Structure 1
Amino acid sequence: MQKLKLLCLRHVRLDGCYAKLPTRLRWLCWLEFPLDSIPVDFSLEKLVVLEMQYSNLRQLCKRANFLPSLKILDVSHSYGLTEIIDFSLCPKLEELILVDCTSLIDVHESIGNLERLVYLNMTDCKNLRMLPKNMCMLKSLETLILSGCSNLGEFPVEMMKEMESLGVLATDGIPLRPERSSTILSSFPCSLVELSLKGCNLSDDVFPTDLSNLSYLRSLHLDGNPICNLPVFIQGLRRLDHLSFEDCNRLESLVGLPKVHQTTIIAGCISLRKIKYLPPERRSGMYMVHDNYNLVEWEHKYKIEPIDRVDVEIIKLLGLCNLESMPAVRMRHPFTDRVLKKVPVQVRLSFSLS
């Protein structure tokens, strides 16, 4: 089978000489690869795609295996992998996927020489301690995903400044030290279109008031952070398609919201009481809600307030002249339909957008 170009195996162990395997392979998908490294007699010079998810690899190669044509390397969920290849051996690499390689501690410094690398995903590499400083040389990198790298010591601020092509950055679950948070946020490259900072322990006071360098940002995720109010810099983001505050359970108000063209997520914001828009904006796009049972004011939609604060003439028209004697009532929240505890009689004021 000397002309074979695609080989897909799963949980297969081969006996014998690997030199006898097809030498013109372009795509090798070997899930649950059983060895701790790729045999040196396995010819991979024509290989373009190498997939070895859920492998027993501890190191990719014991000795230098030149991979001159390799463009995609995926060894995700290789839990024993402790070191990755010297990247000078695969100079054409474009995508590197190391998801859930939980034993990986560092990345070979030669990664900075990968001039064609556009995608780097190291999600849940929980023991990753540091990234090479020369990663700033990755001028073609478009997507960098570090979510779940919870032991990453020093966040690579200077590295990000130099990544002029970076469009997607995800650092979910990496706690940012308060004293450095504002510096880090101000260092994001202006090329970003998607930024995910879920669960990074960001509070109101760490956000700079001005992040005008993020003028191209279309997707922003701040889920699970202890913020109480809308960060001021968001008011300057005019191209947003997606904005998410899911499970920000300390969030109390979103005052000054800019226009979000597609989706705003406020599900799980159990303390949220008020939503107001940045003039002249009105409610736009779709809102994903859940457990927002304290939301009593939503501009252009409704407002709930105690009846004794309502205009006296309206109260008379309703025939409600003796408010003091009216007992507390149970009511359903007008938006979440949740049954609330007993409260004094409330009035729901609805608004029309017409």
Structure 2
Amino acid sequence: MARVTFKFAASFLPKKACDIRSKLENLRVLNMGSCQYITNIPNLSGLQHLKELDLQSCKNLIEIHHSVGNLAKLQYLNVENCGRLKIFPRCIKLPFLEILHLNNCSSLTYFPDVLEKMKIRYLQLVVTGIEKLPWSICNLTRLRRLFINRHQGVTELPISIFLLPELEVIDAKRCGKWLSSNPNEAIEEEIWPMLCPNIFAIYLQECNISDELLRTYLTRFINVKHLDLTGNNFTILPAWIKECQYLRHLILNDCKHLREVEGIPPKTEYLEAINCLSLSSESRSLLLSEELLRAAVIRQSDNIVFKTFFCVPLTCIPDWFDHRSKGASISFWFRNCFPPLCLCLVFKSMDDVYDNCHVTTSVCINDKEVYWNELWNRDAPNVDHILVYDLKENHISWDKMGQACRKSKWNHVKWDKMFVSE
């Protein structure tokens, strides 16, 4: 059967969409995107062959008939940028739906119940009014990535999110409640080891994560590689995190109540604890321990893409650094192979003077620049911080290295940093 597509001009439709069920029963694609005159999508139950429904940027759309939630062959549904949309199907039974766009539906306060297993792989709920996700979200069995950014109200993620067998990434920002506390929505203890076996990244920025939530739930994801807990309320990073053998990136920025760090994953290579103002001196030292940093640099000796990077609120360079220098530069000599290095710098708080600071670094060998990198381009920190990163030969241009170095002779290296604020 031939593909049938129908696209409405933006000014074609009256305020209430006409009844198109009888004459367009073989319709495959219905595109009403950017139609400013649509306020209501009527009963579409007669379009059982419909595969794509595009309603994006219908600024005055208020209601979508519940029949849309039962279009058996629908694969694509886009209602993005429909800021006045309030009524959406309460239940969806769309076994072939792969793409659902709900971004910028700021008046929509609920997500529909998912009545059967669906094929959606990516779900974005950015700038919506959705208050919570239903327990039945676990029927999105093919879901790999979930992105949520709260606009208003409270977004609550049910524990059932962790029953999704293919879930790889959870990215939830500014969700007032992260996990359901409903006692009737429990997961049996013996099931926990099977939860989200493929998850490798958890980003939970400003999600009101408490010590209890951190201890009760996040302990289950020992295979995670990236963990971002920026702006949360927990006071202790518990010792169990040392069991996360695969964790490489750990972000703790703006955790203003964090006091104690009981352990760090042994393979951590990227760590930020910017503006963690309540950290004890012992915890700050632990975050920059010689053992942790040396291990990170050694592991990355063959890694061309990523570099070790640590940033912690401290005012003094740790004692175990071999060579120190005041000012904006440091120099040394090497012969034959360029040595693996762990470089450290302290920069003072200037947030009362500047909103943003920009730190770059360069390396010159025998007065020829062979390396340049941006270390920091973000808001100025509230207190003094130490920044540590590794510099190895495989981060430097081989062509420039060959031109600058004198073989079998001593070579002079100068490392400079530049600080620019605005």
Please give the range of the TM-score, normalised by the shorter of the 2 chains: 0.5 to 0.7
Tell me the alpha carbon deviations over residues 146-183 of structure 1, each in whole angstroms, 9 at most, x when there is no partner.
Answer: 431663476422x23432232222332223499959x9
Q: Which protein has the bigger strand share? A: 2
Count of residue pairs brought into register by the alignment: 308
Q: Distance in 2 between matches of 1:184 and 1:254?
A: 29
Match of 1:37 in 2: 40
Equivalent residues in 2 for 1:1-354, closer than 5 Å: 5=5, 12-15=10-13, 19=20, 26=29, 28=31, 30-31=33-34, 33-40=36-43, 47-55=50-58, 56-61=60-65, 67-85=71-89, 88=92, 90-109=94-113, 111-126=114-129, 128-148=130-150, 151-152=153-154, 155-157=157-159, 159-176=160-177, 189-191=195-197, 192-204=199-211, 206-208=213-215, 213-252=220-259, 254=261, 256-259=263-266, 263-271=270-278, 273-274=284-285, 275-277=287-289, 282=294, 283-284=296-297, 285-287=307-309, 289=311, 294-296=314-316, 301=321, 334-338=345-349
- Say what the alpha-carbon RMSD is for the aligned residues: 4.7
Task: Report the AA paired with residue 230 of structure 1.
Answer: L
Give the conservation status (yes or no) of the 8 Å contact 1:229–1:253: yes
Measured in 1, the distance between the counterparts of 2:116 and 2:94 equals: 10
How big is each residue's C-alpha offset from its partner over 1:321-349, in whole Å with a ceiling of 9 and x where there is no partner?
xxxxxxxxxxxx94225579xxxxxxx9x
Residue 214 of structure 1: how far off its partner (Å): 1.0
Whole-Å separation in 1 of the counterparts to 2:37 and 2:310: 45
Secondary structure in structure 1 of the residue aligned to 2:153: coil
1:257 deviates by 2.2
Q: Secondary structure at the match of 1:31?
A: coil
Could you tell me which amino acid in structure 1 is paired with residue 111 of structure 2? V
Q: Is the 8 A contact 1:115 1:138 kept in 2?
A: yes
257 and 5 in structure 1: CA distance in 2 versus 1, 3 angstrom threshold: same
Tell me if structure 2 keeps the 8 A contact 1:258–1:277. no
How far 1:77 sits from its partner (Å)? 2.9
Structure 1 SS opposite 2:254: coil
Structure 2 CA distance, aligned partners of 1:179 and 1:226? 18
Cα deviation for residue 138 of structure 1 reads 3.1
CA deviation after TM superposition for structure 1 residue 222, in Å: 0.2
User: 2:267, 2:108 → 1: CA distance?
Assistant: 39
Q: Is the 8 A contact 1:131 1:156 kept in 2?
A: yes
Question: 1:281/1:73 Cα in 2 relative to 1: closer, same or farther (>3 Å)?
Answer: same
User: Match of 2:220, SS?
Assistant: helix
TM-score normalised over the length of structure 2: 0.57
- Secondary structure of the 1:122 match is strand
Partner of 2:240, secondary structure, is: helix
Measure, in 2, the Cα distance between the counterparts of 1:29 and 1:104.
19
Distance in 1 of aligned mates of 2:157 and 2:137: 12
Query: Does the 8 Å contact 2:57/2:80 carry over to 1?
Result: yes
In 1, the alpha carbon distance for the partners of 2:261 and 2:317 equals 10
- The 8 Å contact of residues 258 and 278 in structure 1, kept in 2 or not, is answered as no
Kindly provide the amino acid, as one letter, of the partner of residue 36 in structure 1: T
| CA 1:137–1:246: 2 relative to 1, 3 Å | same
Contiguous gaps of at least 5 residues in structure 2? 298-306, 325-343, 352-385, 393-422
**Which TM-score applies when normalising by structure 1?**
0.66
Identity percentage over the alignment? Answer: 21
State the alpha-carbon separation in 2 of the partners of residues 31 and 141 from structure 1: 28
- For 2:171, give the aligned amino acid: A
Aligned equivalents of 1:240, 1:298: Cα separation in 2: 24
Distance 1:22 1:4, change over 3 A: farther
